[in-house]
Amino acid sequence: MAAIMEDRDFRSELHFSASRSSGPGGQHVNKVSTKMELRFHVASSELLSDAEKELIAEKLGARINAAGELVLVSQSERSQMQNREKVTEKFYTLLARALTPRKKRTPTRPSRASKEERLEVKRQQSEKKERRRL
């Protein structure tokens, strides 16, 4: 799914910043900035069409801040490089998922056997309650 988006090179439009992480690493965490934050300004992207930008704004609206930036964070790994790779992978996966159209549901009808089974269960339930009244 993410492979669909990786043929476009978003690297020039991605902005990374590092800060101290609360993840694993013991005392190392207090000294090294391993948490990676990825920011991507959706509206100013040159690689996305207007329709794609609207779709992303609609589907990923909760992750887009007031400045119009899609913000993703990764702090699960102990190295800055691994967190950078993880957050980039997360970005491509999210974008691909947002831009993949949903399958249209094909309406189906219940089979004759399932209708008869449902009516039989209703009849049995009705008889059970009728016996309770007597």
Which pLDDT tens digit goes with each residue over 92-119?
999 889 888 889 999 999 999 999 999 9
pTM of the shown model: 0.69
Tens-digit pLDDT profile for residues 31-50: 788 889 999 998 888 888 88
The CATH code of the domain at 3-99 is 3.30.160.20
Predicted pLDDT at 123? 97
Token pair recorded at residue 67: 């400045």
Compute the distance between CA of residue 96 and CA of residue 103 in angstroms, rounded to an integer: 15
Domain ranges within the chain, ordered by starting residue:
3-99
Token pair recorded at residue 134: 């007597």
- Chain-centroid distance, C-alpha 18: 23
